[in-house]
Structure 1
Amino acid sequence: MTAVLNDLETAPVSEQLRALLRVAAEVQAFARPVAEKAVAAARAEGAGTTRSTTRC
């Protein structure tokens, strides 16, 4: 974990994981705050912060 945080490009991880971590970094970098209205709507449908037991 420390190696990934220090330098993803030289960390001892698979190329697949490295690619996925790059995607995650972009999502994090360009994410915007979620509107409270969207959070409230999800909570109204039973979503919470602990776990989801609903099947899609």
Structure 2
Amino acid sequence: MKTKKTTKRLFSAISINRVTAERFRIFSKKVTGSHSDTLDQMMDFFEVVNISPRNRLMMH
């Protein structure tokens, strides 16, 4: 019987605005439920489509 290898993830803290943090928690629950996975997917998206949140297209 094969066992699934699990790797221990190391975590780091970052400081962000309280309102932004709450907004991200709500968003993260909708996307993956894991803050790390949500951030990874967001960064992957921006890298794959080669855009930045600072692009003129993304500005309101």
TM-score normalised to the size of structure 2?
Answer: 0.31
| Higher helix proportion | 1
Q: Whose Rg is larger?
A: 1
